[in-house]
Amino acid sequence: IDFGFQHVPREEKETLVGEVFTSVSSSYDVMNDLMSGGMHRVWKDRLVEKLRPRPGQRHLDVAGGTGDVAFRVLDAMRTAQYGSAGSAHGGGSFAAGGAAAAPAAAGEPPAAGGSAAGGAAAGPSQQLPAVTVCDINASMLAEGRRKAEARGIGPESVQWVEGNAEQLPFDSGVFDSYTVAFGIRNVTDRPAALREAHRVLRPGGRLLCLEFSKVVVPGMQQLYDLYSFNVIPQIGRVVAGDAASYQYLVESIRMFPDQESWAGMIEDAGFRGVDYENLTFGVVAIHSGFKL
């Protein structure tokens, strides 16, 4: 199997990626902790620290999966408004601008029913909540919704929208910020996804992308390869009963462009002030760019 999906047609790649995430959705959070030794939490915390979301802003987290980044963004907004007591883990509602209403019937996300949300695009007229999670995979979103419900976070604070990063189901210029964490490498047409990110941001809006990257310390690459090609699929086999999906994750990391090439692609999509920060010796990097 070519887990890099380089030689498979586009639709087939999308189907295969879909199968991978449907297969891993229920074990996804546990596996994240096991595979990264908990580091994914530190990396996501840094992403949101860089973002510094403010109350009243509208944030879009693409390929948001089970909501890890979304909950952090909501937490940061609440902390900025109410101090440390206002945590996304503490429940309660929190709407953008303090006045945004739920875009659909209470308790019901706008893309309910698993549609691609194409017809249900949230626009300025529809009042967006503080945070919007958009993901192509219904199982991952369902897991996220379950977590949100358990934390008492309603659709007036976080909405869950099924949609493709390459063709976002939102109007232009409606978001203040856009994040994508460990998601862009799964997207088939990355330039299209970047153009879409640019389109849905307002002028002055910011893109932040957290993704596996190229290790910058000599000698560490071999160690990292040894770990990712041998240990990760084994953890996948034992814990999730699914070595193949985790093998895919490792292969897709290997195929992703290095820091400079990815920064160039972000610029090509129209972003300005593009830079990046390496974390953990370049195991991951956070790229940043602004729509001017």
Tokens of 52: 């510094």
Q: Is 117 among the annotated ligand-binding positions?
A: no
User: Is residue 129 close enough to count as binding ligand SAM by CB under 6 A?
Assistant: no
The answer to whether the beta carbons of residues 278 and 259 sit under 8 Å apart is: yes
Q: Is 251 a residue that touches ligand SAM (CB under 6 A)? A: no
CA 236/CA 232 separation, integer angstroms: 6
Query: Among the candidate windows 158-166, 211-219, 253-261, 267-275, which touches ligand SAM by CB under 6 A?
Result: 158-166
Q: Considering the complex, state which of residue 36 and residue 93 has its C-beta at the smaller distance from ligand SAM.
A: 36
Q: Residue 66 annotated as binding? A: yes
Does 100 interact with ligand SAM (rule: CB under 6 A)?
no
CA 234 centroid distance within chain: 25
Q: Please tell me whether residue 253 binds ligand SAM under the rule CB under 6 A.
A: no
Q: Candidates 60, 73, 187, 265: give the one binding ligand SAM (CB under 6 A).
A: 187
Contact 111, 117 (CB under 8 A): yes
Give the β-pairing of 131-135 and 158-162: parallel
- Does 158 contact ligand SAM by CB under 6 A? no
Closest C-alpha to 140, from 93, 96, 182: 182
Q: Under the criterion CB under 6 A, does residue 162 sit at the interface with ligand SAM?
A: no
What are the tokens at 128?
Answer: 């967006």
183 binding ligand SAM? (CB under 6 A): yes
197 binds ligand SAM (CB under 6 A): no
Among all residues, whose Cβ is closest to ligand SAM? 65
Rounded CA separation 156/101 (Å): 6
- CA gap 3, 16 in Å, rounded: 9
> Is residue 205 part of the contact set for ligand SAM (CB under 6 A)?
no
135 touches ligand SAM (CB under 6 A): yes
Closest Cα to residue 102, out of 82, 79, 122, 72? 122
Using rule CB under 6 A, residue 276 touches ligand SAM: no
What's the N-to-C CA distance of the chain in angstroms?
43
- Nearest distance from C-beta of residue 192 to ligand SAM, angstroms: 9
165 belongs to the binding site for ligand SAM (CB under 6 A): yes
Establish whether 189 is an annotated binding residue: no
| By CB under 6 A, residue 211 contacts ligand SAM | no
- Contact 65/186 with Cβ under 8 angstroms? no
Q: Which residues pair with 117 in a beta bridge?
A: none
Q: Is position 136 an interface residue for ligand SAM (rule: CB under 6 A)?
A: yes
CB of 97 to ligand SAM, least distance (A): 25
Contact 165, 187 (CB under 8 A): yes
Among 53, 65, 109, 282, binds ligand SAM (CB under 6 A): 65
The amino acid that residue 275 corresponds to is: D
From CA 205, how far away is CA 172, in angstroms rounded?
A: 12
Q: State yes or no: residue 69 binds ligand SAM (CB under 6 A).
A: yes
Residues placed in the known binding site for S-adenosyl-L-methionine: 66, 135, 164-165
Given the rule CB under 6 A, which residues bind ligand SAM?
Answer: 17, 21, 62-65, 68-69, 135-137, 140, 164-166, 181-183, 186-187
